[in-house]
Structure 1
């Protein structure tokens, strides 16, 4: 049985809100860290605490007052540097038992340079200051699959490379439910300094076209405001790095294969792409 009783969530966006809902559904005590006290911008439920992410002492004070055991960071890319580091420092000062860093994507363990190294380096920092971590690698959010292939631009699956490498997809609700389940049911020794490699579905970009009975369009880049990022991700996935079992050190599937973390949610029926997204 878990000994974690009180949770703090930093960030109430795409993944933070579902995690909040999942924890509340399990009657957990949750404190949401927010920069604004405007209630009309916040989801219902939980206790809210306004924090300044540049003020470590004030964050630590709030965590101590609420006797927070676990901090879950879902902050965006722009906050992965100093702000998330300040959150870690405050967690250390407050005696937090477990830190869930803002991963929620493809595996980052082992990267030494580039965009994904920032997340890997942060986990190293957690180890340096002595806070156990639980890292969630879930591949790509199932709900965003059409954005990954630029479907809205021409109703086709637009592919930059061959598009044949397998990619792990996991539904946001499954990720949130999984995290709430393991944090409230499993003992710390099963979670501390562990990596949960989740997978709800495993398909290639070419497979996505077949699933939704549409055509493949081979392009040099993806159009749209997020085109450069999506183009980067498609090229990354072509190397195999879209699988949650990927090991960037060996450039192959590692000993802990994709979906190996699913076992901690025994009996759960993981959603496939066709269960979540409809044309």
Structure 2
């Protein structure tokens, strides 16, 4: 475990949720020997790594969450809550952070860019950003693109061992490994000065590929389809159609429908010297 003292000014952390990306972030922070408390509805002590602690909370209980944050002297709250908690529950986390004097709020983004979007879950994220601004809590939003570990799911690979494509499949998609995302969060929040993160957006990109190029990396065939089948087929069908517009790049600007001035991968520079994982490093078939 690293004995490095945080130089960012942020010394104590809380994570809301320990799911798909929350757990790797928890591990990465604990590896830097900083105090972390996990806010969760249902604690599972058997999966808690050494150095971490659970606090059982109701995500809608603002005073209760604030009490935990105060008791643990939390400087940064990192939200990794799932889609169903992006509305009022994340607003409550922000309110509790304000009451407890939290210095930085990292919202549950960790996906494609949401700036300029208002539909569906994008609307929840927009509302949270505006709410944090009203509260005067600085935020640090991290756009990661698609998790490399989920590349096969996006392609419907398990259906027929091929990359199934709806539309052209030629639009570039930003991919980032979960271990790199977690390492980035831990590194930046413990080493970078506050002016590098407060009210900033980090646009990460470990690799960049279209679905057509993904098939080449996997050395498998392409099948053009009207829909992706399987348990998650409808959702994957929607996502592929959406990503085919170019929106899968972390540098995408939905207002101009083009790459914006902050290019995909521009946030990588905050982790100087890091070797980002590529699709071929992570996905094996």
Q: Which residue of 2 aligns with 1:12?
A: 18
One of 90, 100, 107 as aligned partner of 1:94: 100
- Taking structure 1 as the reference length, what is the TM-score of the superposition? 0.97
Task: Give, in whole Å, the separation in 1 of the partners of 2:43 and 2:114.
Answer: 33
One of 20, 25, 31 as aligned partner of 2:37: 31
Where does 1:127-276 land on structure 2 (aligned, <5 Å)?
127-276=133-282
- Taking structure 2 as the reference length, what is the TM-score of the superposition? 0.95
Q: Which residue of 1 aligns with 2:82?
A: 76
Alignment size in residue pairs: 279
Q: Which runs of 5+ in 2 are unaligned?
A: 1-6
Q: Which residue of 1 aligns with 2:4?
A: none
Give the CA RMSD over aligned residues: 1.1
SS in 1 for 2:15: strand
8 Å contact kept, 1:12–1:42: no
8 Å contact kept, 1:17–1:43: no
Alignment pair present for 1:50 and 2:62: no
Per-residue displacement from partner, 1:80-130 (whole Å, max 9, x unpaired)?
011111111000000000000000000001112233232222212111211
Per-residue displacement from partner, 1:218-274 (whole Å, max 9, x unpaired)?
111111121111111111111110000001111110000000000000000000000
Alignment pair present for 1:123 and 2:129: yes
8 Å contact kept, 1:139–1:199: yes
8 Å contact kept, 2:146–2:248: yes
SS in 1 for 2:201: strand
Task: Give, in whole Å, the separation in 2 of the partners of 1:70 and 1:59.
Answer: 13
Larger CA deviation: 219-228 vs 146-155: 219-228
SS in 1 for 2:208: strand
Q: Which runs of 5+ in 1 are unaligned?
A: none
Larger CA deviation: 47-56 vs 258-267: 47-56
Task: For residue 37 of structure 1, report the CA deviation from its aligned partner.
Answer: 3.5
Task: Give, in whole Å, the separation in 2 of the partners of 1:242 and 1:203.
Answer: 10
